Each structure stands twice: as C-alpha cells, then as structure tokens.
Amino acid sequence: MKRLLVVAMLGLGLLLAPPARALDDAGTCGITVTVDEIVEWDANVTIAAADFSGHITAAEDTTGITASEAMTLYFNVDVNIVPSDATNSGVLTGSGSDTLTTTYKLTGADMTNPDADYIATGTFIGKSYAQTHGAGDGDDVITVNVKAVADASGAGACPDADDYTTTITLTATKPA
C-alpha cells in the first residue's frame, strides 16, 4: 500500500508540475547612427601646362587654349560653390607683369546654374553656383574649365615667353 501511495503521489506531482519551458528566447537591439552634414572635396588638383589644348603661338591669338580638370565633391546637403582667388586675382600671370586674358567655365551634373560658356575672371570670382544634393547621390564631379588668350591689342605688346600661373579656390558651403 505504501508503494501505491508513493506512486500515486508521484503521478499527482507530475500532473501538477508546470509544463516544460523552452530554453531559448529572442531579444532585439535597436541601433541608431547619426551622419552629420558633409561637404568635402576629394583632393586638390592642378591644371598643368601640358593639360592645355596647345601653346600660345601668336601675339594676337584670339582663339586661345583650353584645359579642364574634374574635382569630386562629396556632400549630403545642397551647397553653393563660390570661386575665390588665391593668387593673381585668378588671372594667368607670367613671372614679370604680363598676363593672359583668362576666362572660366564651371560645370557639374547637379549644378542648377552651370556656365554655358566661358566667363570673364571678374565675373567668375565670387559667383555662387548652386549644387543640388539628390537622395542617394553623395558625390558629384565639378569640372573647372579655363581658357587662356594672348591679346596683344589690349596690352599693347606680345606676352613674354614664360609659364603663366594662377590659383583659384572653390569653396562649397551649405546655404544659410
């Protein structure tokens, strides 16, 4: 009888025991990362004499020579690009005081107001070019085009044989 009572109690204990629990569970982890507004140029570039379409070979060369260089701008907001002068007011200048008529054209795929043709240095320096950021498009190629013309009629003399140089700075800034 004792055995029957023990077996009955064990059976009753099994019936009253809680059901077996799964020994695994899933949890989630929310992750947030903030990307700040970014405006940066890939690198500084140089337009060298060898990049031009030729050399100036006549005192009155109104056709001029041209060159261009692509610059990559990484950005995730709309920006304005403003050229400024670093040396010689953006005018190609020889080691003496001789200058070449220098004109520029700035273009870019998402630029809302690119130059259709070359514009005078005085108009180019300080002009604001609107560059639009498209969703999923984090970079654009901005092309600097420069044209050099020897104009002896304006200066009254043939320009000296020399290397003519200048430097311009393109500053990309988020509009206020």
CA distances from 56 to 38, 52, 61 (A): 41, 10, 7
Q: Which of 85, 103, 109 is nearest to 146 (CA)?
A: 103
Separation CA 63–CA 48 (nearest Å): 19
Q: Which of 69, 79, 85 is nearest to 142 (CA)?
A: 69
pTM: 0.81
Fold of 39-173: Immunoglobulin-like (2.60.40)
Q: Tell me the per-residue pLDDT of 72-121, one tens digit each, with 9 for 90 and over.
A: 999 999 999 999 987 899 999 999 888 899 999 999 999 999 999 999 99
Q: Is the Cα dihedral 147, 151, 154, 160 positive or negative? A: positive
Each domain of the chain, given as residue ranges in start order, spans 39-173
Q: What is the mean pLDDT of the chain?
A: 87
The number of angstroms, rounded, from the C-alpha of 94 to the middle of its chain's C-alpha atoms is 31
pLDDT at 65 over 90: yes
Q: Tell me the per-residue pLDDT of 116-139, one tens digit each, with 9 for 90 and over.
A: 999 999 999 999 999 999 888 889
Q: For residue 154, give every residue at least 6 positions away whose Cβ sits within 8 Å of its Cβ, in sequence order, or none.
A: 101
